[in-house]
Structure 1
Amino acid sequence: MARRSSGRRKSYRSRNLNFNRNTGSGRTFAVAAIFFMLALFLAPPIKSYFVQRAQISALQSQLKSDNTALDEARKELMLWQDPDYIKSQARERLHFVLPGERQYIVTGTDGTNTDEAAQTDVVKNLPEGQPWYTRMIASITEAGKA
């Protein structure tokens, strides 16, 4: 007797139920859902971790700059505790002199001669080709403006 299974038609129920095809996609969906939920639960703590790390580094740099400013203030305090430094600052800033001394203040030490610059400006503003008295009056007027 020969088997008729090869020529036999499958029933409706056995044709529509394919368990091998559905198990692969179900597992993939379950794994993807687990990873999604894991990412959803871990995202806020990871974000706060990186925000706190940024705050810590900003505070460390601020602390470093504050320590530098504190060191500079301590150095200046040490200078102001020296009586010779106080005298030199009083002479320089407030123009104090000791009894019996005479102070001379020299102005125009920046290297430019202000008289020459002023003369050239006055000469430029004088009218050309006018009589000497007109030029003299213009010169006096210009000198009065300066």
Structure 2
Amino acid sequence: MTQRRAPSGQGPARRPGSSRVRTTGAVRTRAVRNTGSVPKKSSRNRRTVTGSRGATKRTAAPRPRAITGRTMVLIVVFVALALAYTYPLRVYLAQESQLAQLEAEQAEERQLIAQKSQELQKWKDPEYLRAQARERLFYVREGEVPLVVRNDPAGAAAEAGQKQPAAAPDRWYDTLWSSVRAADAESPNQ
């Protein structure tokens, strides 16, 4: 078997990682009569760069696989690592958000404590205590006359000898709804 050579005279081109060597089939030779002279080479057997016989048929080389075994193993390892780290990462992020929420609640509680302590200081003052007793419990000091004002327009009108004030007019939607109910009550479809 002879190896096929490129036009430049070099051996067959090999791809990296490929151990296959292309070979042509058996070489045919003509039977030459032994006349003692050197046989002439016919122009038919000679290869030329222009290729007088037409286009030569190229053989298709096997294409390398797009994903090799090593690549597949690396992809599987990376996917496994990504899946292994997702749960701890999710737990970490949940804890971070919970911590931020607790810190915000703690700041609100500190503010509330500060407000309550100021209010407590006010209640320790005797004058503030007396003012609150007057407002809330209607306490009076000795010798003072208490005066309580009530908001009673009907009673005030009766004492003044006037008629009671007219009732406030109904709201528009109440009037509309009562007319719908009245129309429904009078409906002949019943």
TM-score interval (norm. to shorter): 0.5 to 0.7
> For residue 15 of structure 1, what is the aligned residue in structure 2?
none
Q: Which among 118, 126, 129 is matched to residue 86 of structure 1?
A: 129
> For residue 164 of structure 2, what is the aligned residue in structure 1?
119
> For residue 103 of structure 2, what is the aligned residue in structure 1?
60
**How many angstroms apart in 2 are the aligned matches of 1:4 and 1:21?**
23
**How many angstroms apart in 1 are the aligned matches of 2:3 and 2:141?**
132
1:3 aligns with 2:7: no
Is the alpha carbon distance of 1:89 and 1:3 closer, same or farther for their aligned partners in structure 2, counting shifts above 3 Å?
same
Residues paired across the two proteins, number: 109
Q: 1:71-125, CA deviations, whole angstroms, 9 ceiling, x for partnerless residues?
A: 11101100100000100011111111111111111222xxx95556x71338xxx
Pairwise mapping of residues 24-103 of structure 1 onto structure 2 (< 5 A)? Answer: 24-103=67-146
Residue type of the partner of 1:119? Q
TM-score, normalised via structure 2 length: 0.49
> For residue 106 of structure 1, what is the aligned residue in structure 2?
149
Is the alpha carbon distance of 1:4 and 1:45 closer, same or farther for their aligned partners in structure 2, counting shifts above 3 Å?
closer
Q: 1:5-24, CA deviations, whole angstroms, 9 ceiling, x for partnerless residues?
A: 54329xxxxxxxx7x83584
The CA RMSD measured in Å over matched residues stands at 3.0
Residue type of the partner of 1:87? R
Identical aligned residues as a percent:
27
TM-score, normalised via structure 1 length: 0.63
Greater radius of gyration (CA): 2
**How many angstroms apart in 1 are the aligned matches of 2:67 and 2:166?**
96
Is the alpha carbon distance of 1:36 and 1:4 closer, same or farther for their aligned partners in structure 2, counting shifts above 3 Å?
closer
What is the CA-CA distance between 1:41 and the residue it aligns to?
1.7
